[in-house]
């Protein structure tokens, strides 16, 4: 039986169109092999949308995304739009997309490929074999809690205030996503909080613990965030899936990403409940190399693999793409950002061709 999916493509700006073109070819090829049919619809976002419509996320784009099964985003932004007022900036489109699709879970994998161990700033023996997924709550916590602002006290001092708050429902829904992700991985979930100091973290810990009875096959552990940061650098192999709140996740996901040392290799996903999820590389639009066929398309291609695995439940197709990435790296193909001695230097398109060959 053929499975059919509607995919919205958001190429965006800079290197976006170059790298998403590679991912589309890979998806078409893997689709043929796995009996999956994709209908791709391209929509405007970021600087490209500002040029065409005056706004970074046109309503028509949001509607197209809502009507699809998954959204594959490349990258947005560039020098040209940096001076615009905040509401017209490309990044505002990204926040609008997250809000519009109610994407509350951010998934950031950090996997060390054996061929790129040397790219890590840490010693090979510490990072070899690392394969971590950080699940970060994206729409709550201290970034959104009320009250917030800078207020005057009675004595005339200024006082900056933010509020870290989570409801039980907010914790439950992100924990559920994390348990389900862990189920598709090595079935270990580490919840990170600061329950020794923060009441909001105590609630977080209580709810995550309570939910674990629904997932008896997942081994749940808890760490305080300071210890988690230390352990991520000291012994990252101990982690499989990590779940944490918005602030802690913001910091820990970047720390975990740096274990890999190569920004052109990192995919990510933002997911909601019963709505299409958005899959995109962690890197930006790299305007410094746009249009020069120098971009590494692998983070985008791995984002397409994440889309298959976590967005569409097509694990076999995802495996095939990841294996192809593995193979081209084994064959020594490298774009400029991951180039090292003795390897074969390729551009974005050539990397795409090598991937297609590996797939076939």
Residues 262-281 that bind ligand NAD (CB under 6 A): 263-264, 280
Return the number of other C-beta atoms located less than 10 Å from residue 335's C-beta.
23
Which member of 115, 253, 296, 303 binds ligand NAD (CB under 6 A)? 296
What is the rounded CA–CA span in Å between residue 74 and residue 9? 8
Query: Given the rule CB under 6 A, which of 26-34, 115-123, 271-279, 282-290 is the region that contacts ligand NAD?
Result: 282-290
Residue 143 annotated to the active site: yes
Residue 194 annotated to the active site: yes
From the list 35, 118, 226, 288, the catalytic residue is 226
- Give yes or no for residue 295 binding ligand NAD (CB under 6 A): yes
Strands 36-42 and 3-12, how do they pair? parallel
Count of residues of this chain found to bind ligand NAD when the rule CB under 6 A is applied = 22
At residue 68, φ and ψ (nearest 5 deg) are: -100, 175
Residue 193 near residue 245 (C-beta atoms within 8 A):
yes
- Give yes or no for residue 100 binding ligand NAD (CB under 6 A): no
From the list 28, 69, 131, 143, the catalytic residue is 143
Which member of 177, 289, 324, 359 binds ligand NAD (CB under 6 A)? 289
At residue 121, φ and ψ (nearest 5 deg) are: -75, -10
Residue 333 annotated to the active site: no
Which member of 145, 261, 287, 332 binds ligand NAD (CB under 6 A)? 287
Residue 101 near residue 66 (C-beta atoms within 8 A):
yes
- Give yes or no for residue 23 binding ligand NAD (CB under 6 A): no
- Give yes or no for residue 189 binding ligand NAD (CB under 6 A): no
What is the rounded CA–CA span in Å between residue 297 and residue 256? 21
Three-state secondary-structure class, residue 41 = strand
Buried b (16+ CB within 10 A) or exposed e, 199-211: ebbebbbebbeeb
Which member of 77, 140, 272, 276 binds ligand NAD (CB under 6 A)? 77
What is the rounded CA–CA span in Å between residue 23 and residue 264? 14
Q: Which residue numbers are catalytic?
A: 143, 194, 226, 250, 254
Contacts with ligand NAD, residue ranges (CB under 6 A) = 15, 75-78, 91, 94, 263-264, 280, 283-289, 295-296, 299, 335, 337
């Amino acid at each position: 039986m053929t499975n059919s999916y509607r995919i919205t493509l958001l190429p965006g700006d800079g290197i976006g169109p170059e790298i998403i073109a590679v991912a589309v070819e890979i998806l078409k090829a893997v689709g043929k092999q796995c009996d999956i049919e994709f209908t791709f619809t391209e929509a405007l976002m970021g600087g490209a949308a500002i040029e065409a419509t005056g706004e970074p996320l046109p309503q028509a784009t949001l509607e197209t995304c809502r009507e699809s099964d998954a959204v594959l985003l490349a990258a947005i932004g560039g020098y040209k739009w940096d001076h615009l007022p905040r509401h017209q900036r490309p990044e505002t489109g990204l926040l609008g997309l997250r809000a519009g699709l109610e994407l509350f879970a951010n998934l950031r994998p950090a996997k060390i490929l054996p061929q790129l161990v040397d790219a890590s700033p840490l010693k090979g023996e510490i990072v070899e074999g690392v394969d971590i997924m950080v699940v970060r709550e994206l729409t709550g916590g201290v970034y959104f809690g009320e009250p917030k602002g800078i207020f005057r006290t009675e004595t005339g001092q200024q006082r900056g205030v933010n509020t870290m708050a989570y409801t039980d429902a907010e914790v439950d829904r992100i924990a559920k996503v994390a348990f389900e992700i862990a189920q598709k991985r090595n079935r270990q979930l580490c919840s990170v909080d600061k329950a020794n100091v923060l009441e909001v973290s105590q609630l977080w810990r209580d709810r995550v613990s309570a939910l674990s009875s629904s997932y008896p096959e997942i081994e749940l552990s808890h760490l305080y965030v300071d210890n988690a940061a230390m352990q991520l650098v000291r012994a990252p192999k101990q982690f499989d899936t990590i779940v944490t709140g918005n602030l802690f996740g913001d910091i820990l996901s970047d720390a975990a990403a740096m274990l890999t040392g190569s920004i052109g290799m990192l995919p990510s996903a933002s997911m909601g409940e019963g709505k299409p999820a958005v899959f995109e590389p962690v890197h930006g639009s790299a305007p410094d190399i746009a249009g020069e066929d120098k971009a590494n398309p692998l983070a985008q291609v791995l984002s397409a693999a994440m889309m298959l695995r976590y967005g569409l439940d097509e694990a076999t197709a995802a495996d095939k793409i990841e294996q192809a990435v593995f193979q081209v790296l084994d064959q020594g193909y490298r774009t400029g950002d991951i180039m090292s001695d003795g390897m074969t230097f390729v551009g974005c398109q050539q990397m795409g061709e090598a991937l297609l060959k590996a797939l076939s």
